[in-house]
Amino acid sequence: MTETIGFIGLGIMGRPMALNLVRAGYPLTVYARRQVSMVPLLEAGATGCSSPAEVARRSSIVFVMVSDTPDVEQVVLGDEGVIEGVRPGAIVVDMSTISPSATRAMAERLREVGAEMLDAPVSGGDVGAAAGTLSIMVGGSEDAFLRVRPLFEVMGQNIVHVGDNGAGQVCKACNQVLVAQTIAAVGEAMLLARASGVDPAKVREALLGGFAGSRVLDVHGRRMLESDYVPGFKAALHQKDMRIVLEAASELGIGLPGAAQVTQLINALVGQGEGDLDSAALHRVQQRTHGKA
């Protein structure tokens, strides 16, 4: 079966992902709310559309890469949304990071009109998007996953089918819970080393080889040592993702006190005007709040 592919949302993440699909030889129809965002794709050979519905009418697989839950709901269910044009048998693949429960509700709405949905949030940032090395966590049916996998392989490297609709978003939420808290824990270790008069670079080096070793200690530990907070992954986006995590915890009736605590650091960082820094900059809040003068 030859797929016809659409891509909606051409921002800092969507643009390089869509470009990778075009460059891999897939004909693409695209839509972005801001027309100017479409220009690089049109120059690369994609066809522009005037609405999500029009993209859907022309596509058997429709990718969506926007910011937050309401944005995806607008694109999929809103006026001139995907649902108004989607073909029976088509697959809508939402690669944004949004609410797992909202994802399940949208999948149900799409099922009613004969379409399938995959949730496929990513990690790896705009660097991973450009390089085609994203991690992709997928929820939805096995059949839909297998149909879309060749396209995922153009955009990413570590591609895991986690479970049914919503499971990709749950997995991404778990990722953010783990990354945020590991950043904060590395930051506390740095705080303790510095206040004790011990070189935190030596501590990072010693710990990397042992049981405390992690990619966060490696990458974000170096950021903290060098005060280099060029993103990477912006704190404002991590804040949004932690909001999704804590809303899910509330819906589910579970307590995530560690996630709640680290979210306060990210909230403060964003509130202090530094939301455009990499989220490892939460170490700055730790230094200002809990470190030595």
Is-catalytic flag, 234?
no
Between 24 and 174, CB nearer to its own copies: 174
Give Cα separations from 172 to 27, 43, 54, 95, 280 (angstroms). 29, 33, 30, 11, 18
User: To the nearest whole angstrom, how small is the minimum distance from the Cβ of residue 226 to its own copies?
Assistant: 18
Beta strands 116-119 and 122-123: pairing type? Answer: unpaired
User: To the nearest whole angstrom, how small is the minimum distance from the Cβ of residue 95 to its own copies?
Assistant: 15
Beta strands 156-163 and 134-139: pairing type? Answer: parallel
Distance of CA 284 to the CA centre of its chain: 24
Give residues in contact with its own copies (CB under 8 A): 100, 123-124, 135, 137, 158, 160, 162-163, 166-167, 170-171, 173-175, 177-179, 181-182, 184-186, 188-193, 195-199, 202-203, 205-207, 209-217, 219, 245, 248-249, 252-259, 261-262, 289-292
User: To the nearest whole angstrom, how small is the minimum distance from the Cβ of residue 34 to its own copies?
Assistant: 29
Between 14 and 100, CB nearer to its own copies: 100
Between 50 and 261, CB nearer to its own copies: 261
Between 135 and 267, CB nearer to its own copies: 135
User: To the nearest whole angstrom, how small is the minimum distance from the Cβ of residue 103 to its own copies?
Assistant: 11
Q: Closest Cα partner for 231 from 280, 270, 269, 190?
A: 280
Q: Please name the amino acid found at residue 223.
A: R
Question: HSE on the CB side for 207, CA within 13 Å?
Answer: 20
| Structural element, H or E, at residue 24 | none
Q: Please name the amino acid found at residue 195.
A: A
Question: Annotated catalytic residue: which of 172, 202, 234, 292?
Answer: 172
Peptide bond into 210 cis (omega under 30): no
- State the catalytic residues: 172
